[in-house]
């Protein structure tokens, strides 16, 4: 049985359709990535799946309960954590865990056992009496996740859990997500860090309330970027991008840090004569800006995401 | 001579916690200057001190060529500040929010400038929308437009793209680089290392100290490292195998690993044979110019965040 089964879910606010007839399913124990631009309808969908917002039409079964008919049972069987709200800063670590344990109805031995588990996974053993507001964001996020799954829910929803978190803490947080998923809990996660989305078993991408792509990271790359992708490392990236946009070999072009990713209109082998000609043309185009390095690369999910969303603008 | 701001020996304590410890650096005029570091490094504290929203325990901040006397309220019209929290009025429209900020700063003829900014930020079609109804990326652009309405000489942006999707982040950056034409100085902090690659100058902080500074190229060169990037599967198994080798560090980037070697001796053949021996499928392997994220992870490695 699937952990989540969404059928024709729709939410309208007045005349505005926030979520438009989306259907998908999430398998048990999967790490499932839910991606989309700001305003695409992600938060609205999560609120519905958590049983706190009623759909206009359609339905979803979450852990076997209908979100429209039995939202209270849905709430009891899930965990939820977001970057924005998770813990009380003016309570100690111990008090926060007691509070969440209490909400989830944990008592006595079970509470004790789950609390020590949460402390262990967040790396806060022997720091029970620390005021939560004085913890660094990395610790706070891991503690918040621990608190959200204290009652061992079958599904946990993580809404941008790593927003604004530095590269090292983000990596530690994802180690924890893997551990939780391996223990059998389904993880439903949203993120704007596309390197994190690569860790998901499956992904769906929504735009303007409509589902536009779904699959494993590998499937998405194969389906949406089968053509050759070049990485161009040079100075003045934005000026070079402007020059590349109108060229006949360009399918799409985006800035990536100090380099440019250029998706070509066809697929070439590295030794292809036509590819050599394109590389020469790029060098001519960039003109006199110093060293220009051009290489074929394997596209990442961020390439897929940009390609899919920029095409729609 | 060409400095917009000179920061001298700034220190700040909150109780027993030292947020900033004797920090000094200069910000050059008309550049994008970046502040990066892990959470708790002191970035927000420093920005708030620079915007005179918070008093330093020690040290001085000098805004050169701006004629700002210490403690003068005039500074508020010379600098713009975009905080991490959305600070606009959600029940006012886009137009009204900009007008409100213009009024506060005593700008009366703001209509043309407002049209210009709405054009520039591509918010023109949304001018009659309530700010609360805008998406995250649009809200940030509106906050930026509000800041620019009174033509400040320097703007401070505290993590403006946190929570903003990859498409909108890129759009925001194009807008920022366009601003430099207006003779503005931009001071920005971000947790996104790919964005930091575009700063003209970077100060990297940790625990209230500067740990590295320079242009992105200088910061990378100072670490003297070389990087091999490998796309392989299963990537977690590969990560655990490569972690055991002594001469290099392994960093995970989604579906790929970056193997960081001290010095210039990056050894891709060695890496490839270790992986194949362990039944890992290698899709792509190449030497790569180190990224700022590589550098950041190396510099922070010892610190437990």
In CATH terms, the fold of domain A4-216 is: Rossmann fold (3.40.50)
Rg (CA), chain A: 23
Does the pLDDT of residue A225 top 50, yes or no?
Answer: yes
Total length of chain A: 313
Tokens linked to A97: 């865990």
DSSP B291: P
Query: Taking the C-alpha atoms of B126, B132, B135 and B136 in order, what is their torsion angle to the nearest 10 degrees?
Result: 130
Per-residue confidence (pLDDT) for residue B302, from 0 to 100: 54
Residue from A168, A194, A198, A291 to probe the interface with B (highest B Cβ count within 10 Å): A168
Burial B21-49 (b: 16+ CB within 10 A, else e): bebebebebbbbbbbbbbbbbbbbbbbbb
Coil vs helix vs strand at A290 = coil
A188-202, B154-168, B290-304, range with the lowest pLDDT: B290-304
Per-residue confidence (pLDDT) for residue B4, from 0 to 100: 92
Q: Judge whether A291 and A250 are in contact, CB under 8 Å.
A: no
A293 CB within 8 Å of a chain B CB: yes
A37-51, A101-115, B162-176, B187-201, range with the lowest pLDDT: B162-176
Per-residue confidence (pLDDT) for residue B53, from 0 to 100: 86
Tokens linked to A301: 């999910």
Helices (H), chain A: 42-49, 71-76, 93-103, 108-121, 137-148, 167-182, 194-197, 217-224, 237-244, 273-286, 301-311
Is the Cβ pair A137, B256 closer than 8 Å?
Answer: no
Domain boundaries, chain A: 4-216, 222-311
DSSP B274: H
Tokens linked to A310: 């920029």
Q: How many CB atoms lie within 10 A of CB B9?
A: 13
The stretch B105-119 carries a mean pLDDT of 92
Q: Judge whether A267 and A228 are in contact, CB under 8 Å.
A: yes
Does the pLDDT of residue B65 top 70, yes or no?
Answer: no
Does the pLDDT of residue A3 top 90, yes or no?
Answer: yes
Query: Taking the C-alpha atoms of B89, A84, A187 and A165 in order, what is their torsion angle to the nearest 10 degrees?
Result: 110
Q: Strand A210-215 relative to strand A250-256: parallel, antiparallel, unpaired?
A: unpaired
Q: Which of residues 76-135 of A touch B (CB under 8 A)?
A: 83, 123, 134
Domains of chain B: 3-214 (3.40.50.300), 224-300 (3.30.70.100)
Does the pLDDT of residue A80 top 80, yes or no?
Answer: yes
Tell me the C-alpha distance between B185 and B157, whole Å.
Answer: 11
The stretch A149-173 carries a mean pLDDT of 91
The stretch B96-120 carries a mean pLDDT of 92
Q: Distance from B261 to chain A by nearest Cα, in Å?
A: 18
At A240, the pLDDT band (50, 70, 90 cuts) reads: very high
In CATH terms, the fold of domain A222-311 is: Alpha-Beta Plaits (3.30.70)
DSSP character string of B56-80: -SEEEEEETTTTPPTT-TTHHHHEE
The stretch A236-262 carries a mean pLDDT of 92
Per-residue confidence (pLDDT) for residue B25, from 0 to 100: 96
| Strand arrangement, sheet containing B248-253 | B248-253, B256-262, B225-233, B281-288
Does the pLDDT of residue B304 top 80, yes or no?
Answer: no
The stretch B198-217 carries a mean pLDDT of 93
Pick left, alpha or beta for residue A134 (phi over 0 → left; psi -120 to 50 → alpha; otherwise beta): alpha
Tell me the C-alpha distance between A219 and A216, whole Å.
Answer: 5
Does the pLDDT of residue B244 top 70, yes or no?
Answer: yes
Does the pLDDT of residue B13 top 90, yes or no?
Answer: yes
Q: Judge whether A235 and A289 are in contact, CB under 8 Å.
A: yes
Q: Judge whether A81 and A158 are in contact, CB under 8 Å.
A: yes
- The reply to whether the predicted model has a pTM over 0.80 is yes
Per-residue confidence (pLDDT) for residue B69, from 0 to 100: 52
Q: Judge whether A260 and A231 are in contact, CB under 8 Å.
A: yes
- Torsion over CA: B241, B243, B246, B249 (sign): positive
Total length of chain B: 305
Coil vs helix vs strand at B196 = helix
Is the Cβ pair A168, B297 closer than 8 Å?
Answer: yes
pLDDT digits (tens, 9 = 90+) for B119-160: 888 899 999 999 998 888 889 899 999 999 998 999 999 999
A51-65, A159-173, B198-212, range with the lowest pLDDT: A159-173
Q: Which residue has the tokens 């499932």?
A: A32
What does residue A204 show for φ and ψ, rounded to 5 degrees?
-125, 150
pLDDT digits (tens, 9 = 90+) for B47-62: 999 988 899 999 999 8
For chain B, helix, strand, coil in percent to 5 are 35, 30, 35
Per-residue confidence (pLDDT) for residue A281, from 0 to 100: 95
The stretch A191-202 carries a mean pLDDT of 93
Does the pLDDT of residue B269 top 80, yes or no?
Answer: yes
Residue from B14, B17, B160, B191 to probe the interface with A (highest A Cβ count within 10 Å): B191
Q: Judge whether A52 and A60 are in contact, CB under 8 Å.
A: no
Residues forming beta bridges with residue B158, ordered by sequence position: B189
A140-149, A237-246, B71-80, B264-273, range with the lowest pLDDT: B71-80
A30 CB within 8 Å of a chain B CB: no
The stretch B4-24 carries a mean pLDDT of 94
A309 CB within 8 Å of a chain B CB: yes
At A288, the pLDDT band (50, 70, 90 cuts) reads: confident
Cα B274 from chain centroid (whole Å): 37
Q: Which of residues 144-183 of A touch B (CB under 8 A)?
A: 160, 163-169, 171-172, 178
Tokens linked to A199: 């860790």
Q: Which H/E stretch holds residue A158?
A: strand A155-159
């Amino acid at each position: 049985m699937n952990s989540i089964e969404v059928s024709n879910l729709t939410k309208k606010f007045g005349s505005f359709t926030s979520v438009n007839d989306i259907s998908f399913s999430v398998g048990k124990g999967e790490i499932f990535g839910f991606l989309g631009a700001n305003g695409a309808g992600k938060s609205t969908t999560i609120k519905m799946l958590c049983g706190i917002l009623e759909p206009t039409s359609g339905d979803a079964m979450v852990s076997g309960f209908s979100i429209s008919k039995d939202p209270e049972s849905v709430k009891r069987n899930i965990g939820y954590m977001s970057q924005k709200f998770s813990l009380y800063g003016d309570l100690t670590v111990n008090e926060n865990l007691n509070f969440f344990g209490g909400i989830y109805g944990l008592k006595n031995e079970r509470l004790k056992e789950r609390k020590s588990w949460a402390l262990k996974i967040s790396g806060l053993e022997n720091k029970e009496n620390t005021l939560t507001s004085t913890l660094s964001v990395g610790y706070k996020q891991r503690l918040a996740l621990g608190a959200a799954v204290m009652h061992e829910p079958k599904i946990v929803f993580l809404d941008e859990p790593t927003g604004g978190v530095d590269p090292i803490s983000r990596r530690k947080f994802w180690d924890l997500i893997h551990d939780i998923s391996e223990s059998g809990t389904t993880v439903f996660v949203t993120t704007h860090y596309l390197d994190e989305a690569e860790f998901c078993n499956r992904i769906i991408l929504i735009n303007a309330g409509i589902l536009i792509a779904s699959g494993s990271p590998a499937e998405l790359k194969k389906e949406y970027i089968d053509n050759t992708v070049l990485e161009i490392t040079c100075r003045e990236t934005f000026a070079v991008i402007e020059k590349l946009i109108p060229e006949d070999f360009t399918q799409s072009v985006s800035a990536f840090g100090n380099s440019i990713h250029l998706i070509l209109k066809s697929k070439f082998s590295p030794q292809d004569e036509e590819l050599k000609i394109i590389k020469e043309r790029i060098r001519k185009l960039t003109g006199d800006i110093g060293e220009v390095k051009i290489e074929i690369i394997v596209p990442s999910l961020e390439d897929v995401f940009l390609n899919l969303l920029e095409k729609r603008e | 001579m060409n400095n917009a701001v000179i920061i001298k020996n700034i220190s700040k304590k909150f109780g027993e916690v030292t947020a900033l410890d004797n920090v000094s650096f200069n910000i050059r005029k008309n550049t994008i200057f970046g502040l990066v570091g892990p959470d708790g490094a002191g970035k927000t504290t420093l920005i708030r001190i620079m915007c005179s929203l918070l008093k330093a325990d020690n040290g001085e901040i000098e805004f050169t060529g701006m004629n700002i006397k210490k403690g003068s309220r005039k500074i508020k019209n010379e600098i713009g500040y975009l905080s991490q929290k959305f600070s606009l009025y959600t029940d006012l429209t886009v137009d009204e929010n900009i007008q409100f900020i213009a009024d506060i700063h005593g700008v009366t003829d703001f209509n043309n400038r407002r049209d210009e900014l709405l054009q520039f930020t591509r918010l023109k079609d949304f001018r009659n929308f309530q700010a609360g109804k805008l998406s995250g990326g649009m809200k940030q652009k509106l906050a930026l437009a509000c800041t620019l309405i009174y033509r400040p000489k320097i703007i401070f942006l505290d993590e403006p793209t946190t929570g903003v999707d990859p498409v909108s982040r890129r759009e925001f950056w194009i807008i920022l680089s366009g601003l430099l034409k207006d003779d503005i100085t931009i001071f920005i902090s971000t947790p996104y290392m790919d964005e930091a690659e575009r700063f003209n100058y970077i100060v990297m902080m940790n625990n209230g100290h500067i740990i590295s500074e320079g242009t992105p190229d200088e910061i990378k060169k100072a670490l003297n490292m070389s990087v091999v990037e490998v796309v392989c599967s299963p990537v977690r198994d590969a990560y655990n195998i490569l972690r055991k080798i002594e001469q290099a560090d392994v960093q995970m980037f989604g579906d790929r690993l970056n193997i960081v070697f001290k010095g210039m001796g990056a050894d891709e053949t060695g890496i490839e044979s270790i992986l194949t021996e362990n039944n890992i499928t290698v899709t792509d392997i190449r030497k790569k110019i180190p990224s700022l994220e590589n550098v950041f992870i190396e510099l922070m490695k010892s610190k437990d965040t």
